[in-house]
Amino acid sequence: MHTYTTSGLRVCARIVALLLPVVLVLACGGPVSQPVPDGSAEQSNSVYDEIAALSGQERTDRLVELARQEGELNLYGTGSLEAQGDAFSDKYGIKVNFYEGDTDTVASKIIQEAQAGKHSADVFNGGATLMEELDGNQLLGTYESEFRDGVPDIGKSDRWTGYYRQPLVVLYNLDQVDPAELPSDVLGFADPKWAGKISMELGDYDWYMTLVQYYEGQGLSREDIDAKFTAMAKNAKVIDGHSEQAGLLAAGQFGVAVSAYTLHAARFRDQGAPVTFGGTDGNPTVQPVPMRYEGIALMAQAPHPAAATLFLDFVLGPEGSQLTLDQGQLPAAPMANDPLANDTIVLIDNDEYVKNGDKWAAAYDAILRSADR
Amino acid sequence: MTATVAPPPAKVPEPKAPRRPSRVAELLRNLMTPWTLIVIGCSVVVIYLTVIPLWFLFQGTFAGENGPTLDGFRRALGTGSDMWGMLGNTLVFGVTSTIFSIAIATPLAYVLVRTDAPFKPLFFAASLIPLIIPGVLYTPAWIFLADRDIGVLNQLIFEPIFGEALLNVYGMPGMIWVHGLHNSPIAFLFMVAGFRAMDPSLEESALVSGASRLRIMKRITVPLMRPALVASGLLLVVQGIESFEVPALLGLQNGVYVLTSRIYLATHQYPIDYAAAGALALILLGIAALAAAFSAWLVRDARHYQTITGKAFRPRPIELGRARKWVGTGIIGYFIIAAVLPLLVLVYASLLSYYRPPSMDVFSTMSLDAFREVLAMSTVESAVKNTLILGIATATIVMALCAIVAWGVARTKVPGRNGLDILTLTPLVIPGLVLGLALLFVYLRVPLPIYGTLWIMLISFITQHLPYGMRFSMAAVGQVGQELEESALVSGASRAQTFRRILMPLMSAGLFAGWVYILIHTLRSLSTIILLYSPGRETISVLIFSAVQNGDYTVVAAIGVLLMLLLLVLVAGAYKVGVKYGLAKDE
User: What is the per-residue pLDDT across B454-508, written as a single tens digit (0 to 9) for each?
Assistant: 999 999 999 999 999 999 998 888 878 788 888 888 888 888 888 888 888 888 8
Please tell me whether residue B219 adopts helix, strand or coil conformation. Answer: helix
Q: What is the mean pLDDT of residues A203-223?
A: 95
State how far the Cα of A269 lies from the Cα of A165, in Å rounded to an integer.
Answer: 19
What angle do the packed helices B454-478 and B432-445 form, to 10 degrees? 120
Lowest mean pLDDT of A138-142, B41-45, B240-244, B386-390, name the range.
B240-244
Amino acid at B419: G
Is the CB of A364 inside 8 Å of chain B's CB atoms? Answer: no
Q: Hey, is the C-beta of B144 within 8 angstroms of any chain A C-beta?
A: yes
Residues 6+ apart with CB under 8 A from B373: B552, B555, B558
- What was the pLDDT predicted at A34? 45
What confidence category does residue B2 fall into, taking pLDDT thresholds of 50, 70 and 90? very low
**B397 vs A contacts (CB less than 8 Å):** 19, 22
pLDDT at position B312, please?
63
- For residue B80, how many other CB atoms are within 10 A of its CB? 10
What's the rounded mean pLDDT across residues B311-337?
79
- Per-residue model confidence (pLDDT) at position A2: 40
* Higher per-residue pLDDT: A254 or B503: A254
Average pLDDT over chain B reads 83
- Looking at the predicted structure, is the pLDDT value of residue B7 above 50? no
Q: What is the rounded CA–CA span in Å between residue B294 and residue A247?
A: 43
Q: Is the confidence at residue A52, as pLDDT, over 60?
A: yes
Q: Which residues of A278-287 are buried (b: 16+ CB within 10 A; e: fewer)?
A: bbeeeebbbb
Q: Which residues contact A92 (CB under 8 A, 6 or more apart)?
A: A64, A67, A68, A310
pLDDT band at A31 (very low <50, low <70, confident <90, very high): very low
Q: Which of A78, A273, A354 sits opposite B354 (nearest CB)?
A: A273
Question: Residue type for B573, please?
Answer: G
- Where does the pLDDT of residue A293 fall: very low under 50, low under 70, confident under 90, or very high at 90 and above? very high
Look at residue A197 in the predicted model and tell me its pLDDT.
Answer: 95
pLDDT score of B102 more than 60: yes
Rounded distance between C-alpha atoms, residue B585 and residue B317, angstroms = 12
Contact call for B252 and A104, based on CB within 8 A:
no
The answer, yes or no, to whether residue B6 has pLDDT greater than 50, is no
Provide CB contacts within 8 A for A14, sequence distance 6+. Answer: B500
Q: How far is B37 from chain A (nearest CA, A)?
A: 9
| Contact check, Cβ <8 Å, A105/B268 | no
Judging contacts by C-beta atoms under 8 Å, the chain A residues touching residue B140 are: 244, 247
CA dist., res. B379 & res. B391, Å (int): 18
CB B337 within 8 A of CB B345: no
State residue B314's pLDDT score.
62
Region of B16 on the Ramachandran plot (φ > 0 left; ψ -120 to 50 alpha; else beta): beta
Residue B16's pLDDT is 53
Phi, psi (degrees; rounded to nearest 5) at B67: 80, -175
Question: Which chain B residue lies closest to A8 (C-alpha atoms)?
Answer: B34
| Nearest by CB: B497 against A7, A74, A246 | A7
**Predicted pLDDT at B311:** 67
Whether the pLDDT of residue B197 is over 80: the answer is: no
Cis peptide before B271 (omega within 30 of 0): yes
Q: Which long-range contacts (CB under 8 A, 24 or more apart) does B382-385 make?
A: B382/A31, B382/B536, B382/B537, B382/B538, B383/B538, B383/B539, B383/B540, B383/B542, B383/B543, B384/B540, B384/B566, B385/A29
A5 has a pLDDT exceeding 60: no
Give dist(CA B120, CA B118) in Å, integer. 6
| Alpha-carbon span A257 to A172, nearest angstrom | 6
Whether the predicted pLDDT of A35 surpasses 70: no
Using DSSP bridges, classify how beta strands A161-173 and A275-276 pair: parallel, antiparallel or unpaired: antiparallel
SS3 B495: helix
Q: Is the pTM of this model over 0.80?
A: yes
A74: enclosing H helix or E strand: strand A72-77
Choose the weakest-confidence range: A7-11, A293-297, B244-248: A7-11
Confidence category of residue B180, pLDDT binned at 50, 70, 90:
very high
Reported in sequence order, the residue ranges of A127-187 that DSSP labels E, i.e. its strands, are: 161-173
Residue B245 falls in which region: left (phi positive, over 0), alpha (psi -120 to 50) or beta? alpha
Q: How far is CA A325 from CA A263, A329, B472, in A?
A: 9, 5, 52
- Contact of A263 with chain B, judged by CB distance below 8 Å, is answered with yes
Mean pLDDT of B208-214: 83
Q: Give the mean pLDDT of B236-258.
A: 85
Pairwise CA distance, residues A81 & A86, whole Å: 9
Strands A198-201 and A72-77: unpaired
Residues paired with A292 in a beta bridge = A166
Smallest CA-to-CA distance from B130 within B344, B428, B346, B343 is with B343
Helices A305-316, A41-52: inter-axial angle, 10-degree rounding: 50
Task: Report the distance separating Cα B435 and Cα B528, nearest Å.
Answer: 7
End-to-end CA distance of chain B: 38
Taking residues A225-234, report their average pLDDT. Answer: 95
pLDDT of residue A4: 40
Q: Give the integer Cα–Cα distance in Å for A118 and B444.
A: 8
Q: What is the pLDDT of residue A8?
A: 47
Nearest CA in chain A to B247: A240
Which residue among A112, A264, A372 places its CB closest to the CB of B440? Answer: A112
CA A302 to chain centre: 20
With b for 16 or more beta-carbon neighbours within 10 A and e for fewer, the A153-167 pattern comes to: eebbbebbbbbbbbb
Q: Which helix (H) or strand (E) is A96 found in, with range?
A: strand A95-100
Q: Give ∠ CA B268-A109-B393 in degrees, rounded to 5.
A: 100
**B445 reaches A (C-beta below 8 A):** yes
Q: Are B455 and B387 in contact (CB under 8 A)?
A: no
Question: Would you tell me which residues 29-48 of chain A have a C-beta closer than 8 angstroms to some C-beta of chain B?
Answer: 29-36
Residue B332: which residues within 8 A CB-CB, separation 6 or more? Answer: B119
Q: Does A15 touch chain B (CB under 8 A)?
A: yes
In which element (H, E) is residue A323 found? Answer: helix A318-326
Q: What average pLDDT does this structure show over A322-349?
A: 89
Q: What pLDDT score was predicted for residue B14?
A: 52
Task: Write the pLDDT tens digit of every residue in B327-385.
Answer: 888 888 888 888 888 889 889 989 988 888 887 888 888 999 989 988 888 888 889 99
Of B16-30, B150-164, B200-214, B258-272, the range with the lowest mean pLDDT is B16-30
Residues 6+ apart with CB under 8 A from A77: A99, A100, A103, A106, A123, A124, A125, A126, A296
Which pLDDT does position B396 carry in this prediction? 94
pLDDT at A231 over 90: yes
Q: Are A240 and B257 in contact (CB under 8 A)?
A: no
Contact B551 A247 (CB under 8 A): yes
Tens of pLDDT, residues B397-411: 999 999 999 998 888
Q: How far apart are the first and last CA of chain A?
A: 72
d(C-alpha B6, C-alpha A342), whole Å:
91
ipTM over 0.95: no
When pLDDT is cut at 50, 70 and 90, the band that residue B389 belongs to is very high
For residue A352, count other CB atoms closer than 10 A to its CB. Answer: 15
CA distance B382 to chain A (A): 10
Q: Does residue A236 or residue B10 have the better pLDDT?
A: A236
Q: What per-residue confidence (pLDDT) applies to B80?
A: 56
- 3 state DSSP class of A257: strand
> With an 8 Å Cβ cutoff, are A113 and B453 in contact?
no
- The answer to whether residue A372 scores a pLDDT higher than 70 is no
A292 SS3 class: strand
Spatial distance between the Cα atoms of A201 and B244, rounded to a whole number of angstroms = 16
Q: How far apart are CA B272 and CA B265, in angstroms?
A: 9
Cα separation, A248 vs B519, whole angstroms: 31
Regarding predicted confidence, which is higher, B220 or B367? B367
Section B26-54 average pLDDT: 86
Mutate which: B494, B503, B537, B581, vs A, most A CBs within 10 A: B494
Contact of A17 with chain B, judged by CB distance below 8 Å, is answered with no
Q: How far is CA B432 from CA A162, A203, B247, B460, in A?
A: 31, 19, 17, 9
**Taking a C-beta distance cutoff of 8 angstroms, is the pair B98, B287 a contact?**
no
Confidence band of B564 (pLDDT split at 50, 70, 90): confident
Report the mean per-residue pLDDT for chain A.
87
Q: Residue ranges of the alpha helices (H) in B63-171?
A: 71-76, 83-114, 120-127, 129-132, 135-146, 152-153, 159-162
Quick check: A103 pLDDT over 90?
no
Whether residue B36 is predicted with pLDDT greater than 50 in this model: the reply is: yes
3-state class of A5 per DSSP?
helix
From A333's Cα to the closest Cα of chain B, the distance in A is 23
Average pLDDT score over residue span B581-587: 47
Residue range A181-208: mean pLDDT, rounded? 94
| Predicted confidence band of residue B578 (pLDDT cuts 50, 70, 90) | low
Q: Of A113, A111, A119, A106, whose CA–CA distance to A135 is shortest?
A: A111
CA distance B80 to chain A (A): 8
How many C-beta atoms lie closer than 10 Å to residue B585's C-beta?
A: 10
